Structure 1
Amino acid sequence: MSWIQSMLRPHLRSFTPYASARRSMSGGSIWLNANESPFGRAYSVSTADLNRYPDFQNQALNQAYADYAGVQLKQVMSHRGSDESIELLIRTFCEPGRDQILICPPTYGMYAISAAINHNETITIPLQQKNWQLDLAGIEAALADPNNSVKVVFICNPSNPLGNQLRQQDIERVVALCAGKALVVVDEAYIEFVDAPATTTMARYLDQYDNLVVMRTLSKAFGLAGIRVGFTLANQAIVDALLPVLAPYPLPDVSVQIARQALTLDERLVTRQNTIEIVAEREALLIALPTFPWVRSVVPSVTNFILLQVENANALMQHCQDAGILLRNQSAQLGLSDCVRITVGSPEENERLLEVLASFSSAA
């Protein structure tokens, strides 16, 4: 062991980082591996004030998102994507080496990664594989176990990497079970792709539950993954607890400028139009994908991606990569043997994808 290794915190000496889409794969001409929007658009920014530090919390941006999400300004905090929210929630509420988070895999990998970095154990209560819904009995038992000290429960809804929607009454049940003991964080990165998101989001219940947190992002439906803007929605007491832990200047000024433009009514209409097109493309793929003989099953999706189980995920990944198409292998996730996640691309990208998949089918 080198002296640098010996200086590391012991629990990080064999730490495995999150394998992001850009970190784990490169090259290709069609990127369908990161759940990004296929639609980009141009924004104008001013560089006149780049010699100055940006706002700690830009009130105009936060108000614009509060209006969009249907919440109050005091219930909004902006920061660098949802990943920073995950980290902040764990660092603020979980004592290293003592408290735990609870997750329901298969789910987004950064919950457990952020907990591990902060030296917090992750308790896993897998989704029920018969319907990919929450195991309420398992969650209740874990919360009631006197040996556990769960402080934060992360629920991804709509689910990533599955793409399905969890039952709202089940999420409310978890919030009730955690009342006075733990936060329940609902990750709604893909909420814009569901039917009637305004009547589906848990943000409607922020005034009702003081332990509820909702995470949002501009990276998916808004097509702004490159500016790294996310939001934490919660009651004021939670926001006030998080703010002292947040970095002094969390968002660059250019990111704030673009985000504010994206949240204007005209730009929101463009986002909505793009979302409708993505959903239409998703539905077409959901019809086409099961027709390939090597597809074992396809998970119904309400997001901008589709998860399918195939006969040989590694072979399919290599076949597509050789054709310049990058997909995401999810086989390492609990219960997802030989599963591949496909981001819904543009009509042209999806057409090319199906051509490549058809050639794999004929060779299988």
Structure 2
Amino acid sequence: MFDITKIVRPNILNLEPYSSARDEFEGSEGIFMDANENPFGDLNRYPDPLQKAVKQKLSDVKGIPVENIFLGNGSDEIIDLCFRVFCEPAKDKALTFVPTYGMYEVSATINNVELEKIPLNEKFQINTEDITLNLLDPLVKVIFICSPNNPTGNCIKAVEFIIKNFGGIVVVDEAYIDFADAESLSKKLDIYPNLIVLQTLSKAWGLAAARVGIAFAGTAVIKYLNKVKPPYNISTLNQSAALYALQETSKFELQRNIILQEKSKLLAELESLDFVIKIYPSDTNFFLIVVKDADAIYNKLISSKIIIRNRNKIVKNCLRITIGTPAENEALLAELKNITL
């Protein structure tokens, strides 16, 4: 049986969280003289600290109970909270599989937690037979798995094997799941009490500027994330933006379909370029491609004010290309077709 109290840091177990004025009185009507706010203005009141309206709408859209939802100031805040809740600095460890999203390492370093980095194989998958000892290490408290993975673009196949065979917390970062055919693991929270699934409104929902990250997890995990988070971590403006976007599901579907159609077109065109050596399979809104000279191509595109991501230092001679609008994709292709190496 999974016992979260054996994973949570002792000081967090005993923490008495800050109680804000809006925690102590939840009503929306009355004369508010409790929070030292300016009584004048349209944005003079503190936001809902638990983002109840946004969570209810997310619950309706995603089919996940409200009590299993946590919202962060982007997924990056939730990643940081996972280190702060579960990993004792200078003692415990976390683990991830590389290449992957760079914030796992940044947050580990900030929190003074050793991050073990296990290389993915040539297909960017996890060799499960090579990680048995890592899963049994009592100092490893959290495992981060990005699936679909960034920057490789593929879904990771061994995720459930790791969840079943690891005694700590497994964080599955599904930032790009809305573009994939795979089913979200958020549907299996009742099976896996040690699972945290991250999603975001930054990608398919088009709200990168609003910084609304989502964690789906069991109620025991949600309790500790709420304990540690800042009281007002998501502004009223960003909560309003999230609510508006989640109500526009037809717009979400339309834009996602356009992106996926453009992805197919762009793939076909990229395959015809003589300097493109390989295009890795992608379950996301981007491609990772191997080219003859990544630095040269990147710099030539920069000179034309077309910005892609140079991943040469992470995966040799690789570029990451995000799907743009039809016009942006045409502009990219026109510039690529003029490049000679």
TM category (shorter chain) comes to 0.7 to 0.9
Are 1:142 and 2:121 counterparts? no
**What secondary structure sits across from 2:171 in the alignment?**
strand
**What letter matches 1:210 in structure 2?**
P
Residue 252 of structure 1 and its aligned partner are, at CA, apart by 0.8
Tell me which of 318, 331, 337 is aligned to 1:352.
Answer: 331
1:183 to 148, 166, 169: 169
Q: Which amino acid aligns with 1:134?
A: I
Give 3-state SS (helix, strand or coil) of 1:315's partner.
Answer: helix
Q: Deviations over 1:283-341 (max 9, x none)?
A: 111111121111111111111111101111111110000011011011222xx101110
In 2, Cα distance between equivalents of 1:98 and 1:316: 43
CA contact (8 A) 1:158 1:190 kept: yes
- 1:164 counterpart SS class: coil
Aligned residues between the structures: 302
Give the structure 1 partner of residue 35 of structure 2.
Answer: none
Corresponding residue for residue 162 of structure 1: 152
1:173 equivalent to 2:157? Answer no
* Structure 1 unmatched ranges of 5 or more: 1-46
SS at match of 1:189: coil
1:252 pairs with one of 223, 235, 244: 235
> Which structure 2 residues correspond to residues 265-284 of structure 1 after superposition, within 5 A?
267-284=248-265
Deviation at 1:48, TM superposition (A): 5.6
Aligned to 2:13: none
* Corresponding residue number in structure 2 for 1:302: 283
Note if 1:152 corresponds to 2:138: no
| C-alpha separation in 2, matches of 1:53 and 1:88 | 22
Distance 1:247 1:214 in 2: 20
Q: Could you report, residue by residue, the CA deviation over 1:50-92 in whole angstroms, capped at 9, with x for unpaired residues? A: 1111111111101111222221111001111110110000111
Percent identity for Structure 1 against Structure 2: 40
Equivalent in the alignment of 2:119: 126
RCO greater where, 1 or 2, for CA within 8 Å and sep 6 or more? 1
Q: Does 1:315 align with 2:308?
A: no
Cα distance in 2, alignment partners of residues 140 and 108 from structure 1: 23
How far apart are the structure 2 equivalents of 1:49 and 1:232? 30
Structure 1 residue ranges (4+ consecutive) displaced by more than 4 angstroms after TM superposition: none
- State TM-score, norm by structure 1: 0.81
Which letter does structure 2 place at the counterpart of 1:153? Answer: I
Query: Per-residue displacement from partner, 1:178-199 (whole Å, max 9, x unpaired)?
Result: 1xx211111010011012x5xx
TM-score (norm 2): 0.86
Quote the Cα distance in structure 2 between the aligned partners of 1:332 and 1:89. Answer: 28
Displacement of 1:138: 2.3
Task: Report the 3-state secondary structure (helix = DSSP H, G, I; strand = E; otherwise coil) of the residue aligned with 1:125.
Answer: strand
Shift of 1:144: 2.3
User: What amino acid maps onto 1:219 in structure 2?
Assistant: S
Q: 1:84 aligns with which of 70, 74, 77?
A: 77
Partner Cα separation in structure 1 for residue 57 and residue 101 of structure 2: 27
Residues 218 and 229 in structure 1, CA contact (< 8 A), matched pair in contact too: yes
User: Do the aligned residues in 2 keep the contact of 1:76 with 1:234 (CA within 8 Å)?
Assistant: yes
What is the aligned-residue RMSD (CA, Å)? Answer: 1.3
- Amino acid of the structure 2 residue aligned with 1:344: I
Quote the Cα distance in structure 2 between the aligned partners of 1:270 and 1:291.
32
Are the aligned partners of 1:125 and 1:138 in contact in 2 as well (CA < 8 Å)?
no
Partner of 2:131, secondary structure, is helix
Residue equivalent to 1:221: 204
Residue 140 of structure 1: CA displacement? Answer: 2.0
Contact 1:54 1:251 in 2 (8 A): yes
Give CA deviations for 1:231-278 in whole Å, capped at 9, x if unaligned.
1110000010111110111001010011011111xx111111100110
Asked if 1:54 corresponds to 2:42, the answer is no
